[in-house]
Structure 1
Amino acid sequence: MKVLFCTNDQSFQPSNEPYGFYLGITSLGHSAEVFYYRRKSFFYSNFRKPWVRWMNNHLAEKCIGEEIDLLLVHRGGYVAAETLERIRRESGCRTVCFFPDNPFGAYTPPLPFDLIAAYDLFITKDTYFGEEFETYGFENVVALPHAYDPSEFEARFTDEELAPFRADVAFIGGYHAFRERIFSGLTDEGVDFRIWGPRWAQATDPWIRERVHMKRALDREEKLKALQASKILINLQHGGGALYWPDDKVVQYMGAGALMIVNDRRDLGKIFERGQEILTYRNRGELQALIREHLADEPRRLEIARKGRERARRDHTTAVRFNQILDILRERGIPAGNE
C-alpha cells in the first residue's frame, strides 16, 4: 500500500508520535512517504499564505498523480477541506486524520467543522470528543487512543549513564501553575523527587525549585534515561487536552517500562487496567498514599510496570493503531488500496 504521511517538520522528530506512526506503518511493509503541511523555511515564514496555497495544491496533485492509496494526516491544521474534497473527486485515495489535540481548541485554535467532515475518517484521541461529535451528527469521527513505536524506547544504558537520572519519584513535563500547586511538598522527607522539563524557573515555591534538575525539555536519550532510572513516574494531565483518556506520554512511558501514577480519567480503564497495569489518583492525598505504598513494595512496583509495558506493546503500538484504521475503513465500505 502507498501511504502519504502528512505532518509538520517540528513534530516529526524521534520519540514523538508522528515519527512513531511513520515507523509503525513501514514496519508493516507499507510504502510510506512523508509530506510536510508546515515546514520552517524562508518562504514559509515570510510568505505564509501563498506557501499554504502552494502546499495544498501540491498535496492534492501528489495524491492524485502518484496514485496514493491512503493519505494519513497527523494534526494537519493547514490542510484545507477543498484539498480533501478534490482528492476524493479525482482519485481513489482515502483521507484520514489522526488529531492528537483538543479539536475544540485548548492549546491550538479549534478546527472548522467542514474540515473535519471532509475526511473519510477523522480520529480523535479522546472518547469525550468522539461522543461530542456524535451528538453533532458526524458519522466519520471515531476515537482511538494515542500510540507509540516500541523501537524508539528499547535503548538500554549502563548504571553509570543512569546515575545522574536516578530518582524515587520523577515528573517529566513543562511547568504549569496547577502542577506546582499539587507537587509542592508532595513527597516525604528523604524521598528523591526530581522534576525534568521546561519553564520550571517560573516556580515560586523553594521546595519545588530545589527539585528541578533541568530547566529545558529532555532530549530523547535523556528522557529514556530518566524513565529507566526512576522508580515511579507521576503525571498530571491538563484538563483541556486529556478528558476521558490519558495523553500520549502515558502510553509512551508505560511502553518504556515505567510505573505510571496518573490522575484518573473516566475511560482510562478501556486502555489500561487500573491497579494492575497503571495506578490512578483523584486527589493529592491518594497520590501521596500511592507513592508511599509502592516505594515500599518493590516486587509489586515492578509487577505493575511489567504488566503495563506488556499491555502497551500488545494494544497501543502505532502498527496496531494503523491496522485499526485500515479495519475501520474496510468495515465502512471504503477500504484503502486493494484491500
Structure 2
Amino acid sequence: IAGLVGDRFPADSRERANHCDQLYFTDTCFFQDAERAGFTAPSRYLPLAVDPERFRPGHVSRDSELLFVASRTGFRESVVRGLNEPARVMGTDWSALAGEGFHHVQNRKIRRSALIRLYQRHQAVLNIRNEANVEHGLNQRSFEPLACGTVVLNDDLADLPLCFEPDREILVYRDAGELNALVARLRREPEFAVQVAAAGRRRVLAEHTYEHRVRTLLCDLQL
C-alpha cells in the first residue's frame, strides 16, 4: 500500500499512515509533522505531477495579462492586492476584489478544459500557495502551466529547487517588489517569457509527469 500525502494532516492520522508500506510527501515540511505524529512507515519526497497529453501548448496567440486561477485565501489576496497592474483572477470567494474593479475578476469555478485553454492563451501565470495546506511544497500551478508552455511566477518555497532551476525554468518572487519587477520585465521582454517557459516545459516533460511518478512507486514497491 502506498500513501500519498499532499495536504496537512491531523495528528490522529498515525494508524492509517502506519498501515502503508510506503508514504510519499509532496511537501518536505510534512516529514517533521509525520515524526511528531508517530508515523513509522518509510517515507520519501514525491512532488506533484502533470498529464502532458492534456496540458500542452495551444496554437493561439498569448495575452500578456497576468493570470491567477485559484480560490481566495487571505495570503493569496494580499499578494494579488500588491500587484501594480491589473490581472485576470478566477476562482471562488473573490467577490470583494471583484467589486473594486481594478483586477478582472471572475468569481466562479471553472472546468479543467477551460483552465487548460486559459493557460494556453496567457503568457504568464501567477502561483501563490494555499497557506492552510502547505508550507514548503509546490502545487499543481507549479507544473500545469509550464506543460502548456506558459511561464510561472511562483512564490518562494523551500521545495522549488528540488523540482526546478529558479529563475531559469520558473520565476520566483519573495515580495511585492520582486513580483512587480518580474511582471514588468515579462511585458518588456516577451522573448524572456518564451525562454523561461520553454526551459520549464522541458524539465516538466523530463521529470514531472504522472508516468515518472508511477515508475517511482512501482520501483519502490518492487512491482
Query: After TM superposition, is the score higher than 0.5?
Result: yes
1:126 is aligned to 2:3: no
Q: Report deviation, 1:143.
A: 1.7
1:219 is aligned to 2:116: no
Counterpart for residue 13 of structure 1: none
Contact 2:153/2:171 (<8 A) preserved: yes
In structure 2, the residue corresponding to 1:324 is in which secondary structure?
A: helix
Counterpart for residue 169 of structure 1: 66
Counterpart for residue 153 of structure 1: 55
CA distance in 1, matches of 2:116, 2:54: 9
Counterpart for residue 201 of structure 2: 309
What is the letter of the counterpart of residue 104 of structure 2? Answer: R
CA distance in 1, matches of 2:146, 2:12: 30
What is the letter of the counterpart of residue 196 of structure 1? Answer: M
Q: Provide the alpha-carbon RMSD of the alignment.
A: 2.2
Counterpart for residue 141 of structure 2: 249
Contact 2:56/2:147 (<8 A) preserved: no
Contact 1:116/1:122 (<8 A) preserved: yes
Contact 1:99/1:124 (<8 A) preserved: yes
1:98 is aligned to 2:4: yes
Counterpart for residue 40 of structure 2: 138
CA distance in 2, matches of 1:254, 1:230: 11
Contact 1:201/1:215 (<8 A) preserved: yes
Counterpart for residue 84 of structure 2: 187
CA distance in 1, matches of 2:154, 2:81: 17
CA distance in 1, matches of 2:12, 2:9: 5
CA distance in 2, matches of 1:96, 1:288: 41
What is the letter of the counterpart of residue 277 of structure 1? Answer: E
The 1:205/1:264 distance shift into structure 2, 3 A limit, reads farther
Correspondent of 2:97 among 196, 200, 203: 203
What is the letter of the counterpart of residue 264 of structure 1? Answer: D
In structure 2, the residue corresponding to 1:234 is in which secondary structure?
A: strand
The 1:204/1:317 distance shift into structure 2, 3 A limit, reads closer
State the aligned residue count. Answer: 222
Q: Which has the larger radius of gyration?
A: 1
| Cα shift readout 1:164-194 (whole Å, capped 9, x = no counterpart) | xx34211111122332222125134xxx521
Q: Report deviation, 1:219.
A: 1.3
In structure 2, the residue corresponding to 1:168 is in which secondary structure?
A: coil
Q: Report deviation, 1:249.
A: 2.5
Counterpart for residue 113 of structure 1: 14
Q: Structure 1 length normalisation: TM-score? A: 0.60
The 1:266/1:300 distance shift into structure 2, 3 A limit, reads same
What is the letter of the counterpart of residue 28 of structure 2? Answer: T
Q: Report deviation, 1:120.
A: 0.7
CA distance in 1, matches of 2:144, 2:173: 19
In structure 2, the residue corresponding to 1:156 is in which secondary structure?
A: coil
In structure 1, the residue corresponding to 2:114 is in which secondary structure?
A: helix
Q: Structure 2 length normalisation: TM-score? A: 0.89
The 1:226/1:278 distance shift into structure 2, 3 A limit, reads same
* Structure 1 gap ranges (5+): 1-94, 105-109, 330-334
What is the letter of the counterpart of residue 49 of structure 2? Answer: A
Percentage identity across paired residues of the two chains? 23
Which structure would you say has the larger RCO, counting Cα contacts within 8 Å and 6 or more residues apart?
2
What is the letter of the counterpart of residue 172 of structure 2? Answer: T
What is the letter of the counterpart of residue 211 of structure 1? Answer: H
What is the letter of the counterpart of residue 130 of structure 1? Answer: F
CA distance in 2, matches of 1:130, 1:185: 32
Contact 1:185/1:207 (<8 A) preserved: no
What is the letter of the counterpart of residue 177 of structure 1? Answer: G
